[in-house]
Amino acid sequence: MDRLALDVAHLCAGGLVLVSFMLLYQDRMTGLINTFALHALVVSFSVAWQAYIQLAPHLYITAAIALGVKAVVIPLALHRMVVRLGIHRTIEPVVGVGLTMLAGIGLVALAVMVMLPVTAQAGTLAREDLAFALSVILLGLLMMISRRNAVSQVIGFMSIENGLILAATGAKGMPLVVEISVAFSILVALIVIGVFLFRIRERFETVDVHLLHEHRGEQP
């Protein structure tokens, strides 16, 4: 049981890092959102597995929220948003895929080198989970700085949140924070989608109108 439990936990955490890499090179909005849904799916399975092996039933709630909100509701909302903004077909140039991937590999190496030596006392489960979680966080940061589009930045931020959830559930017996932080990640996501994207849409519209006026002025 123990060996298998650890292996599955590591498989999930490693899978999350892999999906983070996939997020890095998506250049279409639809693909990016679908990959994020996969990211959330992996994290929710990982949390559920932690709940099972730590005998901590409250973590199932966290897993359910991650599954319901981050893997279903938010991707659906983002899809609608992207269509409404009219950017669902545009290709977002990802600056130097090769270079970004290399930087990502460097960050994962850094995370492993930093976390493994200092967590010697923390137990095998927490050790590797934390190293993977830090990798996911750093990859999310890389994504946020390498993208210009607001939607991609929000997705980058939400992938950081997923990494934090992975870290928090890996730390065995951590009290109350999981619930609260999940509640907050939902709040963040809602505020981001509800307020900012709507306001940014207005901004696009005004900019368009402005361009239209200029264009009209130029034509005889």
Partner 1 sequence: MSDAGSLAVVAVLAVPVAGAALLAVLPDDRTTAWLNVLASLVTFAAALVLLVARPAPGAFLIVDDLNVVFIVLSTFIAFTTSVFSRSYIGHELETGRLTPAYLRFYHAMYQVLMFGMNLALLSNNLGLMWVAVELATLTTVLMVGIYRTEAALEAAWKYFLLGSVGIALALFGTILVYLAARTVVGEGLDAMAWSVLVQKAAGCDPALLNLAFLFLLLGYGTKVGLVPLHAWLPDAHAEGPTPISAVLSGLLLNVALFAILRFKSIMSANPEALAPGPLMVSLGLVSVVFAAFMLYRRQDIKRLFAYSSIEHMGIITFAFGMGGPLANFAGLLHMTLHSLTKSAIFFCVGHIAQVKGTQQMQEIRGLTVSHPILGWGLVLGVVAIAGLPPLGIFMTEFLIVTSTFARSPVLAIILGLGILVALGALLLRLNELAFGEPKGRSNPSRASFIPVGAHFALVLIAGIWLPPALVAWFQYVATLLSS
CB of residue 168 vs partner 1: minimum separation in angstroms?
A: 6
Residues at the site binding partner 1, with contacts judged by CB under 8 A: 114-115, 117-122, 126, 130, 133-134, 137, 141, 144, 150, 153, 157, 160-161, 164, 167-168, 171-177, 180-181, 184, 187-188, 191-192, 195-196, 199-200, 202-203, 206
Over the range 72-83, which residues count as b (16 or more CB within 10 Å of their CB) and which as e? eebbebbbebbe
Contact 20, 43 (CB under 8 A): no
Nearer Cβ to partner 1 (35/162): 162
| Radius of gyration from C-alpha coordinates of the chain | 19
Nearer Cβ to partner 1 (89/194): 194
**Residues 196, 110: Cα–Cα separation, whole Å:** 33
Strand partners, 28: 91
CB of residue 95 vs partner 1: minimum separation in angstroms?
A: 18
CB of residue 189 vs partner 1: minimum separation in angstroms?
A: 11
Nearer Cβ to partner 1 (184/211): 184
Q: How many CB atoms lie within 10 A of CB 53?
A: 16
Q: Cα-Cα-Cα-Cα dihedral of 62, 67, 137, 2, to 10°?
A: 60
Nearer Cβ to partner 1 (99/177): 177
